[in-house]
Structure 1
């Protein structure tokens, strides 16, 4: 059952910032979202869970409040802010000299529908085969979205949808996945298997290749396969954590990759906000195609598409998603602030933090670092928790995680809330994560890289374990 009850109210900033998406971002009866956080309750919070969810930074809250008041008074126009955001993102991503276009979506999972739409617009008569790496470490629901299925109980347009149902019954997607890790946690290399699959099916299907650079545990696929199979595949690179260099972004765009990013991970916007970077070559093909929604009018609005695709935009609903707009504004504030620091300085700070936390976890009797950490992004550290020689299960880690993020830490009494990354399951196993973001890096750099609170964070985890809070 699908129902349309779009919330267009601007009652309060807290309401708006937690609307215009799926149920994950909404506040429930306890005033928190599913991650046990209220993004607007941002004072005295120690966040080392930027891979999952963040609260407003003070600077972002000030800017977003200003825009929200302007929207309420009709002194600021939605379209003007969106236009400025596109310009800002191109400048901040250091690719202003490249011809590319930006598509928007309420989350990283929502971005996964775009390649399906693009494939049908460019090759309407061919079925789709979608190849997916790291399926167990993608954002919640991405595997379903990649298959053209609703991944949630609602979205920005429909107040109620059937989770798991096809967005379009006539859309055929053959799904092939390649796991990130084996049963021992070792990162797997599927390079040759993916090449063989492409060679076998490229004539029969429109092939979408989904690679990831920065999964939940920071896994980074080797992009050499893009250069080797560039002509036969629509390559989609998941950079949703946005923990990468501008040089890599530019290289991927030059290779005609479609790039998924979010502002709600490393750049610590409230959840969630996604954007898709699309080369001029692909955008031209979309402009030449016959305008058709292929069922995705149930997912996207006209304002999610670049203004250059005028005919296609007009096929979608005229709905201004203020929540999404403001979440992206929050991220752009952080991007601007971090841009004041040299990239080499930022990378060094992240490396020092990573080394410090790694040493603490290695010396703790309760933690076991995930294997192949050197192959992952330094701003995310993943580890399993063990008690009396046995690793905690996914359910036990979820219980431990909830205790840590909902109760004050006796070791960090200056903070009302401590945030760490939510558990991630792989096979029958599970791990938790520490992750820093832009605001965290700026704070450390402005405070002489004082990592004493991170030491107390590890001790906080140990405290809750000793208390049996799992």
Structure 2
């Protein structure tokens, strides 16, 4: 069978000339859409795999555009837009042609460097070679970024690292494992099997602890309570002569900025150099100005292109401010990271470039190309237009979820980043929520649907039917236990492409909001059908 450069992931390229890169076209006949689709799902772990029948991955998305979907689930994952797919397809064809005569590793190194430069440029970050330059480490996913951060900061000054994360129901499912410096999946980017949960650097374990932001009933804990708990944990780490990495989530799966920034800055002032801060902005629901402000405080920032930006899953970057870069660029890496990334994924001048393999990950390259296509479109829209669209969506969706007895809003709080700014009265688009989380209510017996029932509603909405298009919501998030009954919240979200389209005019905005109302109508109807026929739950195997 002919191979395309999407058939190989880093670490498993074939022998001979074509082994210079992570796959590559052995014959010109490999060109075409199949090669593009194969490439878009290459160079990651098993989360990228698509089922042969449906062509969808574990998140219910595939590498092809699905313009018919009501796509309001970008807090989980997205399907590539038709426009981005066309742009990436043309780029892919150029790469195929160039690789007929050129070394793929060199081509990849050049192209991923250009992706890095463009990402930083779109965020308004200094691209000079001077002391204010921000570095970007490219990664296949947000979870990989947490693993990289733990590897870079672990055993610094020969001291054990303790990472503090939010509970996994507000972040990614593998984040806590990755933040402890352990393999978080059973196979990595090179298609190599690994022992899930095993340390990357045996004997140099990173400790990890988590903090809950919600009570058992789903209500939010007070910021004072969270700060007191964090202070106690970091005091224990200091007494044990550990270093600490506090991971601040901005924003979480349910649209929280947690812990709050007043807490974060007080902790940083109290504990000084033994406490580092990483902002988990993997939803990418933050502006370039917000990212620049975080970097100015010497915080690491993690972003991905597959949530708000709606690129295909698996594209991440760890942004390092100059002070952190100076500290970390000379840090040795565990040899196990060679299966996760390539030399070119790391910036020039970092020790990692000396120890990582000279592989190419064209899947990562194409996925970032798609994400940056959407980011460039988004930053090209005037902020006042974006604010108007977000405000209109928030008003209508918020009112519907509050007034419709089919739903119950999950407890939330405003996004407050005023601590970052000298003035807090400036309107900023990223302080308007773009994720709304809600429980489903049972119209027959009253009360909230169980987690199992909510999962069936979510699954059934995404099924393509002859008379109904699929509805894409954010996956259920386990948020509460009411007595012995677990409950999950669904999420309706705006993505950058939806906002860009809605900014085209009043009719476009009305159309987008009408689609959102249809999504909520369909969700309420599906919940009513389910609860009137309990056998549906058993038949679904949930």
Same fold (TM over 0.5): yes
Corresponding position: 1:403 with 2:460:
yes
Change (3 A) 1:81 1:233: same
Q: 5 Å matches for 1:455-470?
A: 455-468=517-530, 470=537
Q: State the shift of 1:121 in Å.
A: 6.5
Q: SS at the partner of 2:98?
A: coil
Matched-pair contact (CA < 8 Å) for 2:167–2:212? yes
What is the count of residue pairs matched by the alignment? 461
Matched-pair contact (CA < 8 Å) for 1:113–1:145? yes
| Partner in structure 1 of residue 242 of structure 2 | 205
Partners of 2:296 and 2:326 in 1: how far apart? 15
For 2:181, which of 127, 148, 162 is the aligned residue?
A: 148
Partners of 1:257 and 1:40 in 2: how far apart? 36
Partners of 1:339 and 1:5 in 2: how far apart? 38
For 1:21, which of 44, 50, 73 is the aligned residue?
A: 44
Q: SS at the partner of 2:210?
A: strand
| Partner in structure 1 of residue 515 of structure 2 | 453
CA-to-aligned-CA distance 1:411-430 (integer Å, 9 cap, x gap): xx5xx432111111135321
Q: SS at the partner of 1:446?
A: coil
Corresponding position: 1:178 with 2:211:
yes
For 1:214, which of 248, 251, 264 is the aligned residue?
A: 251
Corresponding position: 1:78 with 2:108:
yes
Q: State the shift of 1:294 in Å.
A: 5.4
| Partner in structure 1 of residue 448 of structure 2 | 391
Q: 5 Å matches for 1:66-465?
A: 66-74=90-98, 77-96=107-126, 98-120=132-154, 122-123=156-157, 125-188=158-221, 189=223, 190-202=226-238, 204-221=241-258, 222-228=260-266, 229=268, 230-289=272-331, 291-293=332-334, 295-309=336-350, 311-375=351-415, 378-387=433-442, 388-408=445-465, 410=467, 413=468, 416-427=469-480, 428-448=486-506, 449-450=509-510, 451-465=513-527
TM-score (norm 1): 0.92
CA RMSD of aligned residues (A): 2.2
CA-to-aligned-CA distance 1:346-381 (integer Å, 9 cap, x gap): 122112112111222223222111012535861000
Change (3 A) 1:171 1:185: same
Partners of 2:126 and 2:471 in 1: how far apart? 38
| Partner in structure 1 of residue 428 of structure 2 | none
Q: SS at the partner of 1:130?
A: strand
Specify every segment of 5 or more residues in structure 2 that has no aligned partner in the other structure, as ranges: 1-9, 14-21, 416-430, 481-485, 531-535, 538-542
Matched-pair contact (CA < 8 Å) for 2:163–2:207? yes
The higher relative CO (CA closer than 8 Å, separation ≥ 6) is in: 1
Change (3 A) 1:318 1:34: same
Q: State the shift of 1:464 in Å.
A: 1.4
Matched-pair contact (CA < 8 Å) for 1:263–1:274? yes
Partners of 1:181 and 1:408 in 2: how far apart? 37
Matched-pair contact (CA < 8 Å) for 2:45–2:191? no
Corresponding position: 1:8 with 2:48:
no
Partners of 1:53 and 1:324 in 2: how far apart? 16
Q: State the shift of 1:53 in Å.
A: 1.3
| Partner in structure 2 of residue 58 of structure 1 | 82
Q: State the shift of 1:409 in Å.
A: 8.4
Matched-pair contact (CA < 8 Å) for 1:23–1:154? yes
TM-score (norm 2): 0.80
Q: State the shift of 1:69 in Å.
A: 0.9
CA-to-aligned-CA distance 1:9-56 (integer Å, 9 cap, x gap): 465111111121121121113221112222314232221001111111
Change (3 A) 1:246 1:4: closer
Partners of 2:232 and 2:313 in 1: how far apart? 38
Change (3 A) 1:401 1:373: farther
Q: State the shift of 1:269 in Å.
A: 0.2
Change (3 A) 1:408 1:19: same
Partners of 1:426 and 1:43 in 2: how far apart? 31
Partners of 1:288 and 1:151 in 2: how far apart? 25
Q: State the shift of 1:447 in Å.
A: 4.2
CA-to-aligned-CA distance 1:155-177 (integer Å, 9 cap, x gap): 21243222222223222122221
Specify every segment of 5 or more residues in structure 1 that has no aligned partner in the other structure, as ranges: none
Q: State the shift of 1:467 in Å.
A: 2.1
Runs of 4+ in 1 over 4 A off after TM superposition: none
